């Protein structure tokens, strides 16, 4: 067994020990095929007001600019599909499933710190950085390149064993490791369920999402008023949106997560429509303490709830 093979085995064994569902390995290199796609996506202003996505263009395409001397990108999958889905009827206020429990950034970043520490104990001093939705790195593309899945029509990574209700995280390290083979087949076939179901028609082409139309963007990233043109199209989502995942046939393979930190707070699990209507800042802080929902702050959630309550599509 070569040193690269041993390192690959170590990476996967460590990932399994820390509770990651899958671990894929790719050679750190320039994502040549992605450059024109990213450039065109930005040119069309599909990033909306997320100006940060237009920054660090070169770093998004080459992880060696994030970690000097980087040799390997390790992609990791961490399941968040809940044991029990909160009510999602037509009259219910809805939250994206990833936001039910504690903020995933903190939960997973702690595991990544332990991951790097364990690697250094095993192989000596290595340079590396860990990322979980927190840096200019094309997570889904690296995960696809490392054999963890393929990019679906909704632009999310799909995995044949787990669907898509999972977080992606990466380690970029200057450790040589044997790469996995990429998945080159599109297992979506002719299915267009996600495109057909999107309430705001945000999926403008297979694998291309106009982020400025996505309900997740409108309820989380957009800091201004939600445009009136989306009236009656928000499907009662107050934070994020799962529609394109809920209708995806591959998510019949979703399995409940085993992460206690992702369990909804008891107050949230029993929240009613009236509770949402009467939501105060004090209750918001209590129920969503340590939650990703804090990204919108109380002001943002109230804006979203007020927009939903109007229920009138614009003329």
- Residues 140-175: pLDDT tens digits? 999 999 999 999 999 999 999 999 999 999 999 999
**Overall domain count for the chain:** 2
Least confident span in 8-17, 179-188, 302-311: 302-311
pLDDT at 55: 84
Told to judge if 133 belongs to the known catalytic residues of this protein, a careful annotator would answer yes
pLDDT at 88: 83
End residue of a domain, out of 123, 138, 173:
173
Least confident span in 49-58, 89-98, 111-120: 49-58
- Is pLDDT at 314 greater than 60 in this prediction? no
> Confidence class of residue 312 from pLDDT cuts 50, 70 and 90?
very low
Q: For residues 210 and 303, state if they share a domain.
A: yes
> Confidence class of residue 13 from pLDDT cuts 50, 70 and 90?
very high
pLDDT at 311: 59
Q: For residues 134 and 228, state if they share a domain.
A: no
pLDDT at 144: 97
Q: Is residue 246 part of a domain?
A: yes
> Confidence class of residue 246 from pLDDT cuts 50, 70 and 90?
very high
pLDDT one-digit tens code per residue, 94-146? 999 999 999 999 999 999 999 999 999 999 999 999 999 878 899 999 999 99
pLDDT at 310: 87
Q: For residues 221 and 292, state if they share a domain.
A: yes
Cα→Cα distances 16→3, 77, 102, 267, 312, Å:
20, 10, 21, 32, 49
Q: Is residue 182 part of a domain?
A: no
Q: Is residue 114 part of a domain?
A: yes
State the alpha helices, DSSP H only, in 165-295: 193-197, 215-216, 243-246, 266-269, 273-277, 281-287
Q: For residues 211 and 158, state if they share a domain.
A: no
pLDDT at 49: 87
Q: For residues 169 and 206, state if they share a domain.
A: no
Q: Is residue 168 part of a domain?
A: yes
Q: For residues 202 and 166, state if they share a domain.
A: no
Phi and psi angles of residue 110, each rounded to the nearest 5 degrees, phi first: -65, -40
- For 210, the token pair is 């106009």
The whole-angstrom separation of Cα 61 and Cα 230 is 33
Q: For residues 116 and 200, state if they share a domain.
A: no
Q: For residues 139 and 270, state if they share a domain.
A: no
> Which of 172, 177, 167 minimizes the C-alpha distance to 257?
167
Q: Rounded to an integer, what is the distance from CA 280 to the centroid of its chain?
A: 28
Query: Of residues 29, 62, 127, 133, which has the active-site annotation?
Result: 133
Q: Is residue 179 part of a domain?
A: no
pLDDT one-digit tens code per residue, 264-283? 988 888 888 899 999 999 99
End residue of a domain, out of 173, 205, 234:
173
Residue 237 belongs to what domain range?
193-252+264-310
Q: Percentage of the chain surpassing pLDDT 70?
A: 98
Averaged confidence pLDDT in the chain: 94
* Predicted TM-score (pTM) of this structure: 0.94
Q: Is residue 187 part of a domain?
A: no
The whole-angstrom separation of Cα 153 and Cα 143 is 16
Q: For residues 130 and 238, state if they share a domain.
A: no
pLDDT at 90: 77
Q: For residues 213 and 162, state if they share a domain.
A: no
pLDDT one-digit tens code per residue, 190-219? 999 999 999 999 999 999 999 999 999 999
Q: For residues 44 and 138, state if they share a domain.
A: yes
Q: For residues 128 and 217, state if they share a domain.
A: no
Query: Region 5-28: what's the mean pLDDT?
Result: 98
Q: Which residues contact 37 (CB under 8 A, 6 or more apart)?
A: none
Q: Is residue 183 part of a domain?
A: no
Q: Is residue 178 part of a domain?
A: no
């Amino acid at each position: 067994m070569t040193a690269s093979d041993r390192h690959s085995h170590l990476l996967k064994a460590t990932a399994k020990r820390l509770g990651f569902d899958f671990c894929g390995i790719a050679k750190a290199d320039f994502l040549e095929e992605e450059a024109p796609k990213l450039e065109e996506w930005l040119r069309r202003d599909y990033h909306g007001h997320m100006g940060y996505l237009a920054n660090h263009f070169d770093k998004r395409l080459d992880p060696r600019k994030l970690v000097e001397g980087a040799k390997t990108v390790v992609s990791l999958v961490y399941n968040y599909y809940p044991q029990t889905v909160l009510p999602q009827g037509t009259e219910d206020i809805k939250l994206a499933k990833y936001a039910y429990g504690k903020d995933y950034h903190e939960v997973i970043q702690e595991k990544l710190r332990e991951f790097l520490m364990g690697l250094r104990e095993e192989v000596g001093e290595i340079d590396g950085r860990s990322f979980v939705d927190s840096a200019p790195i094309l997570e889904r593309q690296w995960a696809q390149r490392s054999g963890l899945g393929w990019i679906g029509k909704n632009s999310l990574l799909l995995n044949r064993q787990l669907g898509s209700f999972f977080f992606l995280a990466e380690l970029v390290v200057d450790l040589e490791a044997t790469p996995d083979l990429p998945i080159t087949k599109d297992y979506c076939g002719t299915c267009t369920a996600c495109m057909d179901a999107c309430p705001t028609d945000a999926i403008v082409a297979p694998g291309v999402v106009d982020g400025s139309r996505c309900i997740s963007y409108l309820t989380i990233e957009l800091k201004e008023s939600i445009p009136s043109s989306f009236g009656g199209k928000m499907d009662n989502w107050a934070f994020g949106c799962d529609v394109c995942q809920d209708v995806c046939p591959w998510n019949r393979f979703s399995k409940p997560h085993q992460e206690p930190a992702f369990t909804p707070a008891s107050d949230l699990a029993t929240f009613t429509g009236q509770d949402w209507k009467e939501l105060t800042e004090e209750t918001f802080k209590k129920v969503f303490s340590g939650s990703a929902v804090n990204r919108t702050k109380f002001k943002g959630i109230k804006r979203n709830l007020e927009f939903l309550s109007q229920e009138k599509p614009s003329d």
